[in-house]
Structure 1
Amino acid sequence: MSLIKQLWLAIGGLVLVTLAGSLVISVITLRAALEQDLRPSNADAAGAPQETVPGWFVDLVRLENPTGRAEIALDGSTPPQVRLEPHLAYHALWQTTLAIGVWCLLAGMLGLIVTWRIVHGLRRPLRAVVEQARDIGHRRFTISRTPRLRELHEVVQALNQLSRGMSDILGEEHRKLDMLRRHLQHDRLTGVMNREAFLGQLRGLLESRDFRASGTLALVRIDRLAETNERLGHAPTDALLKQLARELEQCGKVHDGGLVGRLKGCDFALLLPGATDMDAIRQALSQRLERLQHRIAPGVTLPTAMIAYHQGDTPGDLLASLDGALASAAQDGEPGPVIVEDTHREPLFADHASWRRALEQAIAEGVYLAHYPVLDAHGKLLHFECPARLRLGNAWQPAGRFMPWVSRLGMDAALDLAVTVTALKDIDQRRQPIAINLSIASIQDARFVLELRRCLAAHPEAARQLWVELPEALATQDMPGFHSLCRELRPLGCRLGLEHVGTRFTHITDLHDLGLAYLKIDASLVRGVETSPERQAILRGMATLGHSLDLLVIGEGVETLEDARVLFTLGIDAATGPGIRRGDWPDA
């Protein structure tokens, strides 16, 4: 029996016993008083009117009635003795008992109300303690408000101390892992990614199946870096390199998810996934570089070239095109960033209006979901990854072709809602779990979140088999919004996870109390893991840290079964990618 039920029974029993005892004592006291009053008044009771009193009450409280004497004039004879029933006394006792009973009942009700308030006030902190203990059991180290009740105060303080201690341990382990990752993947002077890490990110985006498969790649070069170093000195040149890296990182943050790498001593690359408005990017980048030149390095030129990338391009071809454009711009003396025209790919539509009409029609006609399996070490299906396809230009187009325009035209919420509806129908038909991803713009739209909740609540069984993947950038850029979304969706039964986890893994320990179910490690960290001890060390640490937070850890972009085997030995729970197919699986 629960503590609350025991408290209720104990308090209720005490109240009832107290009330019953008070009533009995009052009745006995009143009975004795009435018996005393009856002795002198029996002589006058013979002519009194009779009152109705329940028989059971008379039997219960039988009064000891002495014999009375009545004077009756019958020819001067001796007056007989008459024994009278004390009806008036029984009536008075009955009325008084009713009044006392009513007052006891009112007092009891008041006592129960006060008791309910006390118990209710006790249940709130008890529930909080239970929830916190359950969270800790699920490795979500939450901090609870300390109650005023002394016993619970000490318990909650101990639980909070445990949560803080575990959070500190995880934070320290994460800090060490991040230091290792930065040591292996970042340029020591500027702090941006080194050539190998950046090209790995670029290669992963070009092979991805979502909106990141298209975007913009820029190459910025410090012209005559050796001469600049001799002229300015070593320290000012280092300051120039660091400041250039910071400016490019700021430009990347403006466009959500931009990546910066140092390819060689004088070359820096800026990667903007999903950003295709070349004119706007060119203007923003030109302003930043001009300010940098005037403020830090007058006389230093920073030739820049930009190119749009698409799914299927290769890093070597893109960088070769940019390098050639920089060489031509240097010969022609062309100022400002140069845009390399893409002559190999025709645009699907010519202008904004055409794109809007085509996208609205395609969304109305329906979304097609591709299915790519996510399998664990034993070949068991966790779920299907389901990137969206739209029928544009008489063909089903991947997300990389249309997502930049969807974002540019503000149609993210309409597309994501259509994807959710299609996914729930797919689950109802196939009875297999699937995963969809939501864009940052949709998640930050309050109306979309309400529609999403309504849609999931209308399909509770399908919602329990839906895996919802959220961008890693959302967790780092809009933490309050991310917390709010998790609180809204978690009670509906769907599993929440982060996709493309990589460069921002530093912030994962801040999310331990949200109830996330899984992480998907970005393909740039997974690809080629079989031959890279450095990546193996990073992935092993990420798997360990993820498991300490009770998260499944999934590797993206797995190309070969050999890579899959290595991932499983490192502690990764499941894998997905072009090399993952059902029925063709490594032994566990």
Structure 2
Amino acid sequence: MSITRELWLAIIAVVLVAIVGSVSIHGATTKGYVEEQLYSKNLDNANMLALTLSGLEKDADTLDLFIMSQFDVGHYASITLQKPDGEIISSHTHTTQLDEQTPAWFASLFSPNVEPGVAQVSEGWGQYGVVNVQTDTSFAVASMWKATLRLILGLSLVGTVAGLIGAWFLRLIMRPLDQVVEQAESFSQMQFVQVSEPRTLELKRVVKAMNFLARNSQRIMDEENTRLDLLRHKTQFDVESELANRDYFISILKGQLAFRDTEGVNCIFFLRVVGGREAFLRSGPENRRKRLLQFIASVNECLAQHHHHYTDSRVARMQKNEIAILLTEAHDVVTIAEALHGACLSELSEPGDPKLYQSVVRLRPEDDASSALMRLDTLLDDAEDRRMSDPYLEGSLDTSISLVEENRWNKLLKEGIANQAVETFNFPVLDAERKLVHYQSWAGIEIDNDLRKSGYYTHWARYLGLLPALELATISHLFSYISKTRTKAKFAFLCSEQFLLDQETLAQLYFQVKMNESIAPQLNFEVRESTAARFPHEFESFCSTLKAKGCGIGLKRVGESFSQLMNVQEIGLDYVVIDSAFMADIDHNPANHAFIRGFCSLAHTFGIHVYADGVKTNNTKELFVELGVDGVVSHIEVIEHLLND
């Protein structure tokens, strides 16, 4: 029972007690007062009647007629004239009749008991008889009942007004109480949210204690994040340049090559500076590092300016004079390479500065890390031998994008969206006992009568601004599939940065989720860690809206930017998927063991499950249990389903 209902019940009980008490007191008091007044009236009437009768002839008929006339015109219950010896000369009475609106119970409780008025009738100097006058009390009872009704109505009105005012005040009191309840519920879901302290002392003490717990949890997370970052930077980053080191980049590359979608345009850009040793040595250590950091800043700034040309970027220092850049799902590689080349040359414009050479290759399905890097080195050595001043791109990449090709892709993708020619490739996420957690769904679309994975077309869809619409069509397909097959399985879908920022598409998504409330909990929506870190407010709004509708929220490719996420303990993440880069050579990589163990411990503190991506072997169960990993995204048990099947 709600507090508001309890308040109303209490007010009703108080009003009822007040009515009963007031009616009882009012009735008893009024009854006594009326009895006094009516008795005085009886005495006055008896005296007046006796005085009049004393002046009349003592003829029995005359006296009876006079008494009868007085009885008829007045409100009397009875008038009796009798001689001293008891002989009744005249007697007139009538039965008291209650008003129709006066209840019998009220009359029985509060009818006044009035003594009759008695006076002596004289004859000369002697006594003729005694007259008894009794007033009719039915009118008094009716008047008392009307007064009581007014009292009851007045008290009821006061009670109603008091209830309304009390409910209004209670609503004011309940607002901070609702916040306290929501905060407590969020704590039970491992969301350590802070709320403003209310003015009510008792609630203020509770909220203050819970806010302290929330701040404490934030402090623990910050400290653990700092510790994990220090551990990761110590083993995976180059101290001088603050970039990923060679070993970590190779792990990233291995993870990318283990990635299930090999149709994407995933490229490595290799930058090498040659010569200029004397000029650099003369500049001094501090200036050398300053110029190195400026060089890297120019690279990062260039990548940021062209972030709409690719999905993810990883930059690493391979050697003292070499930098590697991995871009996934890249579009218009020639433009990116030329922009990088120009940005780097702007930092190498002083006399005696080294020369810059660049090579670019696309990762192939059959590649491993060694073969990909070997192709890069070969191209770069060739560019250096030929003293090329422009980027040296692998043959398949060294082509400009034609308007005809752009129009072709625009037509193909729009037709796919209009015809809902979308599909999903589903990879099971399994827990430690090999039981299904949910399916990781990757989008596919029919192009030229072939079902293509997202990597094949994502760069074009992003370039043409059609990626949000394609992803929305895929989500609609998942809703249709769940409804049609009535499956109980859950499905997770990765949303792009463009999808997260497209308000019109998000509005359509929220509408679809609302229209499919019964199956909405079967969908998990994922966002890349880098996207969530770059757009924290949009991500938080995205999470809160979908969580309120029962959907799950996950983070993909987690590891590098988790510490940069704002208020992650308040977002309500259901799970995170560790980047495949951390899974490469997991069997014999103690540095990654320490990081993953600490990361899992931190995530579990906030009720977040941790799954591993990029695992291709089945013999890691004991290791993952030890590290705290809750499950893996399977690459062996691939399941494809067609809606038309």
Report the TM-score, using the length of structure 2 for normalisation: 0.82
Larger displacement relative to structure 2 (374-383 or 43-52):
43-52
Give the aligned partner of residue 538 of structure 1. 595
Counterpart residue identity of residue 54, structure 1: T
CA contact (8 A) 1:293 1:300 kept: yes
Give the aligned partner of residue 114 of structure 2. 65
C-alpha distance in structure 1 between counterparts of 2:467 and 2:8, whole Å: 53
CA contact (8 A) 1:65 1:85 kept: no
RMSD of aligned alpha carbons = 3.2
Give the aligned partner of residue 129 of structure 1. 180
Could you tell me which of 271, 284, 289 is aligned with 1:233?
284
C-alpha distance in structure 2 between counterparts of 1:211 and 1:108, whole Å: 75
Could you tell me which of 209, 217, 223 is aligned with 1:166?
217
Deviation readout 1:152-194 (Å, 9 max, x if unpaired):
1111111111121122122212211111111111111111101
C-alpha distance in structure 2 between counterparts of 1:422 and 1:195, whole Å: 42
Report 1:354-503 matches (<5 A).
354-363=408-417, 364-428=419-483, 429=485, 430-503=487-560
Give the aligned partner of residue 569 of structure 2. 512
- SS in structure 1 of the partner of residue 259 of structure 2: coil
C-alpha distance in structure 2 between counterparts of 1:346 and 1:574, whole Å: 43
| Residue 480 to residue 212, structure 1, CA distance change in 2 (3 Å) | farther
* Match status 1:139 vs 2:198: no
| Residue 2 to residue 105, structure 1, CA distance change in 2 (3 Å) | closer
Give the aligned partner of residue 233 of structure 2. 182
- SS in structure 1 of the partner of residue 111 of structure 2: coil
Could you tell me which of 286, 297, 301 is aligned with 1:246?
297
CA contact (8 A) 1:561 1:579 kept: no
Counterpart residue identity of residue 60, structure 1: L
Larger displacement relative to structure 2 (519-528 or 20-29):
20-29
**Which structure features the higher share of strand residues?**
2
Q: CA deviation at 1:312?
A: 4.9
C-alpha distance in structure 2 between counterparts of 1:213 and 1:538, whole Å: 29
Counterpart residue identity of residue 28, structure 1: A
Q: CA deviation at 1:311?
A: 5.0
C-alpha distance in structure 2 between counterparts of 1:203 and 1:171, whole Å: 30
CA contact (8 A) 1:186 1:197 kept: yes
C-alpha distance in structure 1 between counterparts of 2:176 and 2:448, whole Å: 60
C-alpha distance in structure 2 between counterparts of 1:211 and 1:440, whole Å: 21
Counterpart residue identity of residue 379, structure 1: R
* Match status 1:21 vs 2:28: no
| Residue 348 to residue 465, structure 1, CA distance change in 2 (3 Å) | farther
CA contact (8 A) 2:275 2:353 kept: no
* Match status 1:92 vs 2:146: no
Larger displacement relative to structure 2 (229-238 or 206-215):
206-215
Give the aligned partner of residue 103 of structure 1. 154
Q: CA deviation at 1:539?
A: 1.3
C-alpha distance in structure 1 between counterparts of 2:523 and 2:494, whole Å: 11
Give the aligned partner of residue 268 of structure 2. 217
Q: CA deviation at 1:91?
A: 2.9
Give the aligned partner of residue 36 of structure 2. 36
CA contact (8 A) 1:546 1:552 kept: yes
Give the aligned partner of residue 351 of structure 1. 405
C-alpha distance in structure 2 between counterparts of 1:258 and 1:572, whole Å: 26
C-alpha distance in structure 2 between counterparts of 1:278 and 1:23, whole Å: 93
C-alpha distance in structure 1 between counterparts of 2:458 and 2:101, whole Å: 89
CA contact (8 A) 1:220 1:269 kept: yes
C-alpha distance in structure 1 between counterparts of 2:216 and 2:591, whole Å: 29
C-alpha distance in structure 1 between counterparts of 2:587 and 2:566, whole Å: 27
C-alpha distance in structure 1 between counterparts of 2:103 and 2:519, whole Å: 67
CA contact (8 A) 1:525 1:535 kept: yes
Counterpart residue identity of residue 537, structure 2: P
CA contact (8 A) 1:15 1:111 kept: no
Counterpart residue identity of residue 111, structure 1: A
- SS in structure 1 of the partner of residue 619 of structure 2: helix
Q: CA deviation at 1:518?
A: 0.4
Q: CA deviation at 1:77?
A: 7.7
| Residue 435 to residue 205, structure 1, CA distance change in 2 (3 Å) | same
C-alpha distance in structure 2 between counterparts of 1:227 and 1:577, whole Å: 53
Could you tell me which of 570, 581, 584 is aligned with 1:527?
584
Report the TM-score, using the length of structure 1 for normalisation: 0.89
| Residue 580 to residue 251, structure 1, CA distance change in 2 (3 Å) | farther
Q: CA deviation at 1:361?
A: 1.9
* Match status 1:259 vs 2:314: yes
Larger displacement relative to structure 2 (114-123 or 521-530):
114-123
| Residue 71 to residue 282, structure 1, CA distance change in 2 (3 Å) | farther
What count of residue pairs does the alignment treat as equivalent? 580
Q: CA deviation at 1:472?
A: 1.1
C-alpha distance in structure 2 between counterparts of 1:180 and 1:497, whole Å: 24
Deviation readout 1:337-380 (Å, 9 max, x if unpaired):
44443179999995211101111222324212112221111111
CA contact (8 A) 1:526 1:557 kept: yes
Report 1:37-52 matches (<5 A).
37-42=37-42, 47-48=73-74
Larger displacement relative to structure 2 (175-184 or 117-126):
117-126
Q: CA deviation at 1:240?
A: 1.9
C-alpha distance in structure 2 between counterparts of 1:468 and 1:315, whole Å: 31
C-alpha distance in structure 2 between counterparts of 1:469 and 1:209, whole Å: 17
Deviation readout 1:502-526 (Å, 9 max, x if unpaired):
2112235731111111000011101
Deviation readout 1:4-52 (Å, 9 max, x if unpaired):
6655544543343234323432333333333332233345695357965
- SS in structure 2 of the partner of residue 513 of structure 1: helix
Give the aligned partner of residue 342 of structure 1. 396
Q: CA deviation at 1:402?
A: 0.3
* Residue ranges of structure 1 left out of the alignment (5+ in a row): 583-588
C-alpha distance in structure 2 between counterparts of 1:26 and 1:205, whole Å: 90
Deviation readout 1:271-328 (Å, 9 max, x if unpaired):
222231234424542443244234x787343333344446554444544444444444
